[in-house]
Every structure is written in C-alpha cells, then in structure tokens.
Amino acid sequence: MFHVKRELDLTAEHEGLVIGLFDKPEKFSGSLAKLDERFEGQLTELVKSGDISAKLKRISKVHSLGKTTAKRIWFVGLGKEKELS
C-alpha cells in the first residue's frame, strides 16, 4: 500500500521514498536538506554530476546503504518549477 505525505518522516521505516525534484535547485531545503545531511552532502553531489536528474519525467534511484530508514529513494524529475502546471 502507498501513502502520500507532504513531509518526510526520517524516523519511520520505509521500503522506499519517492521525492519530486525541480530542475536547477539552488540548494536543497526542508526535509530534503535533512536527508542530504544524512548522506553527508552526497545527494547534492549526485544532482550536480547528473547521476540524479531533475529533468522532466526522469527517474533516478539511489540505495540508502543504511544512511536513512528507507531502503531506496526514487527521485522524479519535475522539470523547471515555473513551467509546472
């Protein structure tokens, strides 16, 4: 069963997380910034290198390797924020 939440609970166990990501964010904020802290900034580096894509309809998967309570994280590219309808 799937549950959709607006805020990320980093204390609860999850099989997987799906996170929407806008193209060209200046930096992560909110729950995503907290998640990036657990990954010691590596999520930011994966976005910069293109291994995590924020381009529209692109999907990228990252294994958590025990850095958070979710086993896998899927990033869904939302494209440019101003073009979202």
Residue the block writes with tokens 């060209």: 24
pLDDT at 7: 75
The low-confidence residues of the chain, meaning pLDDT below 70, are 1-2, 25
Contact 1, 55 (CB under 8 A): no
Question: Which amino acid appears at position 16 of this protein?
Answer: G
Report the predicted TM-score, pTM, of the whole model to 2 decimal places. 0.83
**What is the domain partition of the chain in residue ranges?**
14-83
Q: Is 44:51 a contact under the CB 8 Å cutoff?
A: no
* Chosen CATH of 14-83 out of 2.60.40.10, 3.40.220.10, 3.65.10.10, 3.40.605.10: 3.40.220.10
